[in-house]
Structure 1
């Protein structure tokens, strides 16, 4: 029977869920509070420059392929991919960097030059990571987090010790060079937690990095948003922007309507891809499944300070993706997770999409954005933003041996306060809830409300966790639960 389904938000998980639900014959409408779709994956354009405002790494291409395959489509039906080589560089000092190439053999050769015997160790490490990837990404993450029994399979039983150890300890047993250690610890930062707090099993992220490579949609990550939007529209989904949800109406413990811009819209099912904690504040208190104390006790992934910058010249000595690990990696992690404060010497990430996509900047110019991971809930003001821009731009100029600050045409910052204002993000987090051992699978907030019938959730605060591929999977899982309830 055809049902009306209202979806809150238009990020990756919401768009994915909308496609699945429309495919089943439902009347699906997406309501987005902002003027454009994409959620954190929005696009920003100014003076001929184009920026992805959120995700900029296209990893796990098989997850995207599986998503489109569910609709008898391929990613190439909607966007074109370029494999980056180098995938990224990690900078440790003045013109001192390690390039991560687009194939494992070249990466192994780079490791061997730095630490004798490390190529063989890396091969063994990646083989184990691939085994975990095959179990996790092809099976476990497609389970809805309803029961702990979902995690108990013949394969996971054989890897029980990997849920008890941690990624950092495993890496340090095999590699002694601190640079190589930091490179191998980097991918799990996408999961939102310190490598020392991330279960060993999650080393599958290293296979996603070294085994599958880093890709770039031809004109940016927003290509993917546009592609899924096009698919959704083809399936009959309606998308309405500038539609901020003010309240969720509950009658007899059943969600029956939403209030948008003062208008009551009745619906059979409500699915929220917006911030989970914020969505529950749209309910009366007795209908909320998770208390403020609960959210306060969770470990959240970092927030970020971002700068979107247009340069009037080409930037030299830099790759598309660049990580600046020229300061203390561990101290910055402490400043985010253990004793939250603005870091004295932050690591940072720089992205120059116009190195790959010539449409991202006018001829002879460069678009770039810089990101500093920060503790969520931290103080945020313009003075601090400028202070930290000076810190990183000074280091960038020193390390890459060039002057660029006088070539800035414009600069826009985005930080914790903006994550709250634009996305209703709890404590201004950028990436959701960290995937620690006690915040994995069935231990995350549920896809289905425990207190209100016909109310569901999707996205980075629920199953399976942070990141773009998990967001697509989350949308599928939520849609499957809804479809199951409609059949029963």
Structure 2
């Protein structure tokens, strides 16, 4: 192990992206099933944009309604004093999903965006100053493991094989599979039992890897989709193999550039995007959707796709008399994922020793997770994700400056905290904790701009039920068939995409949800 400052990250450049696992498979002609029909998509997050592109290129006259003044949903972009901040997702792990969307409009993805690899994927710092470079190359990764525990290298190889088997079944076969019927779940149940989907990620990894720090390294990834590694199904162990297969990437210009690229695809295909249009009602007649209402303006539709928060779509946009299954009472009983405090900040100096992505783990791991998910308290300690996009794309900040955001997992609003009262003190403690020589020394003396986003903002700005940053907690009993379905059971012609439906949160999940939708239209 080492506590010396790690080396500067290498300069990155565009390189060919790994191919789709479906490459080489014959693709059937794409029928234009929507000729003469109208579709409305609510919300322009990645799920909504992917759904809108797929609908428009299938012949539906598609209108995309976004409640905010910019597209992107949680991938909103903030700008201040020359700093450009991606508000939400910043990690691209399965680039071929965006290639597929570009292909639908007959263009190469490179026309719209430039995607580059990150190396390392993440640098993981521990509270004692030790660090681990999480990389894709097997030899390099095993050398990192051996720094902590040489005897765990063999165990890691066994874990990698397990992660591959989970990936082959859960992602390659099922990511775009519909679980609208219980029979669809029963078909795959034997495989999930065999792969021990009933065990948690942490429990399953611990079978293979013994060193406490390495267990943290190979179990933190469910946190990126709102899950508690101590109880998220071991299905989510596939994230490791997914990242090793396609790598971790960044979009030049920021994630907002990817949003703009998808908007351009949609509009070039003939779709219509309307900003500042908050849907107030999904109109239903005789059990079937007939359109949506924005103020006194109506948008008739043969089908409606919601990329909004699933719980609030049902609770706020569909009258109770049209909901037999997803009643307010049932939605209240669901388990909702954690929330986040996110601090967007810019500095008047650079920190070239930092990588693009850093995971900063605190002194506690299991105890902190229990405080967040079970006790729902704001602990004195925290673990952080630090995003430094100017490490890859300096254009996101003024010359000689650095652009960041740091996020801290915290309880959702069920914890009862008054975030307006505590946010400044909590944010200051986070910034102070990073003022180490190997992280961001003298940070607060070099701040130029700062913005704090709390669980209250997830509820108030993003309309997220209970201020959850990821909608439903990804446990086995809220996955696949047990999750709200892509096809509404209550309203005919209503569909869902995004983090709250199958397959779940994270960019691969929300973009794949639009592929599920397409099978039924």
With structure 2 as the length reference, what TM-score do the two structures score? 0.88
Structure 1 counterpart of 2:69: 35
Distance 1:57 1:317, change over 3 A: same
Shift of 1:103: 1.7
Corresponding residue of 1:397: 435
2:496 counterpart (438, 443, 457): 457
Cα offset, 1:191, TM superposition: 3.5
Among 325, 347, 351, the residue aligned to 1:311:
347
Once the 2 structures are TM-superposed, how far is the Cα of residue 147 of structure 1 from its aligned partner? 2.1
The number of aligned residues is 482
Map 1:120-131 onto structure 2 (within 5 A). Answer: 120-131=154-165
1:97 and 2:128 aligned: no
Q: Which residue of 2 aligns with 1:384?
A: 422
Secondary structure class of the residue paired with 1:196: coil
Report the Cα distance in structure 2 between the residues aligned to 1:188 and 1:420, rounded to whole angstroms.
22
Residue 18 of structure 1: how far off its partner (Å): 0.8
Task: State the alpha-carbon separation in 2 of the partners of residues 25 and 375 from structure 1.
Answer: 43
Instruction: Note if contact 1:166-1:195 (Cα within 8 Å) is conserved in structure 2.
Output: yes
**C-alpha RMSD over aligned residues:** 2.0
Q: Which moved more, 1:8-17 or 1:112-121?
A: 112-121
> Separation in 2 of the partners of 1:326 and 1:250?
50
Q: Where does residue 12 of structure 1 map in the other structure?
A: 46
Aligned counterpart for 1:165 among listed residues 183, 186, 199: 199
Q: Is the deviation greater in 250-259 or in 26-35?
A: 250-259
Shift in alpha-carbon separation, 1:171–1:478, aligned structure 2, 3 A = same
The reply on whether 1:145 has 2:184 as its aligned counterpart is: no
Per-residue Cα deviation, 1:245-288 (whole angstroms, up to 9, x for no partner): 11222222222232213222322222111111211222211112
Tell me if structure 1 keeps the 8 A contact 2:68–2:275: yes
Gap change, CA 1:158 and 1:137, over 3 Å in 2:
closer
Offset at residue 155 of structure 1 (A): 10
Indicate the SS of the match to 1:82: strand
Question: Counterparts of 1:404 and 1:467 in 2: how far apart (Å)?
Answer: 30
Runs of 5+ unmatched residues, structure 2: 1-34
Match of 1:339 in 2: 375
Q: Following the alignment from structure 1 to structure 2, what is the Cα–Cα distance between the partners of residues 451 and 208?
A: 34
Q: Could you tell me how far 1:60 is from its partner in structure 2?
A: 2.5
Which segments of 5 or more consecutive residues in structure 1 lack a partner in the other structure? 484-488
2:57–2:104: 8 Å Cα contact kept in structure 1?
no
The reply on whether 1:371 has 2:410 as its aligned counterpart is: no
Q: Cα offset for 1:476?
A: 2.1
Provide the TM-score with structure 1 as the length reference. Answer: 0.94
Once residues 219 and 105 of structure 1 are traced to their aligned partners in structure 2, the CA distance between those partners, rounded to angstroms, is 32
- Write 1 or 2 for the structure with the bigger share of helix: 1
Secondary structure class of the residue paired with 2:50: helix
Structure 1 distance, partners of 2:146, 2:178, is 41
SS across alignment from 2:224: helix
Q: Which residue, 449, 464, 472 being the options, matches 1:425?
A: 464
CA contact (8 A) 1:380 1:415 kept: no
Aligned to 1:109: 143
Please say if 1:223 is aligned against 2:223. no
Distance 2:341 2:191 in 1: 41
3-state secondary structure, aligned to 1:344: coil
Specify which of 30, 41, 46 is matched with residue 80 of structure 2: 46
Deviates further, 22-31 or 284-293: 284-293
Q: Deviations over 1:98-142 (max 9, x none)?
A: 111242220111101210222222222112212221222211111
